[in-house]
């Protein structure tokens, strides 16, 4: 009995590598031997993406944000759910290679932002904001530096009973 096997060629789309923006790089301190740097990743990036030296292309093209050998990095995911500690082992004008020391969760397991069922606090990548739970529409235009300030603003947004 002969069996017919149909082979189908599947065209795979090349995956787009997310790149870290120079604005996401903040130098905390610069000593005699190395710098301590905070890096905030774009939405959709995962810790494993840092293994690719190409994610640093835009950063390395920036004179103010470019990484150099021996820089110590503290990298946060967009939603601050994970963190990475790493050291730059090699840097060029187009890429940076890291020795990843530790990958971990930044927030405690199951910890969520403040919510009262109607309004909730969320992280937008730059600041904490307040939005409605039902449709995720932002209701307070300004961002807040801490989760507590955003939760306080949400509580103050409700009408007050005057009596």
CATH number, position 61: 2.40.240.20
Tell me what pLDDT residue 1 has.
54
Q: How many domains are there within the chain?
A: 2
Q: pLDDT tens digits for 23-32? A: 999 999 999 9
pLDDT for 103 beyond 80: yes
| Residues 64 and 101 placed together within one structural domain of the fold | yes
Q: Which domain holds residue 95?
A: 22-105
| Residues 98 and 131 placed together within one structural domain of the fold | no
| Residues 101 and 29 placed together within one structural domain of the fold | yes
- Name the nearest CA neighbour of 50 among 108, 96, 2: 96
C-alpha of 162 from chain center: 43
Residue 80 lies in a domain: yes
Tell me what pLDDT residue 119 has.
93
Mean pLDDT of 145-163: 87
| Residues 100 and 30 placed together within one structural domain of the fold | yes
Residue 76 lies in a domain: yes
| Residues 26 and 98 placed together within one structural domain of the fold | yes
| Residues 134 and 63 placed together within one structural domain of the fold | no
| Residues 26 and 101 placed together within one structural domain of the fold | yes
pLDDT for 17 beyond 90: no
In the DSSP assignment, the letter for residue 152 is H
Residue 2 lies in a domain: no
pLDDT for 107 beyond 90: no
| 123: Cβ contacts below 8 Å, ≥ 6 apart | 78, 79, 80, 113, 129
d(C-alpha 23, C-alpha 160), whole Å: 40
pLDDT for 11 beyond 90: no
Mean pLDDT of 143-150: 88
Q: Which residue has the higher pLDDT, 142 or 36?
A: 36
Work out the pLDDT band at 12, boundaries 50, 70, 90. Answer: low
Locate tokens 């601050």: which residue? 80
| Residues 75 and 146 placed together within one structural domain of the fold | no
Residue 110 lies in a domain: no
Look at the alpha carbons of 131, 107, 53, 96 in this order and tell me if their dihedral is positive or negative.
positive
Residue 57 lies in a domain: yes
Percentage of residues in the chain having pLDDT higher than 70: 86
Q: pLDDT tens digits for 63-101? A: 999 999 999 999 999 888 889 999 999 999 999 999 999
Q: Can you give the pTM of this predicted structure?
A: 0.66
């Amino acid at each position: 009995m002969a069996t017919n096997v149909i082979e189908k060629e599947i065209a795979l789309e090349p995956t787009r590598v997310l790149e870290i923006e120079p604005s996401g790089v903040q130098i905390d301190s610069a000593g005699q031997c190395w710098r301590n740097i905070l890096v905030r990743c774009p939405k959709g990036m995962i810790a494993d993406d840092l293994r690719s030296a190409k994610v640093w292309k835009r950063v390395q093209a920036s004179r103010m944000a470019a990484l150099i050998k021996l820089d110590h990095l503290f990298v946060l995911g967009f939603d601050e759910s994970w963190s990475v500690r790493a050291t730059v082992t090699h840097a060029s004008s187009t890429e940076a290679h890291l020795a990843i020391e530790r990958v971990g969760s930044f927030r405690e397991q199951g910890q969520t932002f403040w919510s009262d069922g109607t309004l909730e606090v969320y992280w937008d990548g730059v600041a904490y904001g307040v939005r409605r739970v039902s449709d995720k529409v932002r209701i307070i235009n300004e961002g807040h530096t801490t989760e507590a300030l955003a939760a306080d603003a949400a509580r103050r947004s409700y009408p007050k009973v005057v009596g």
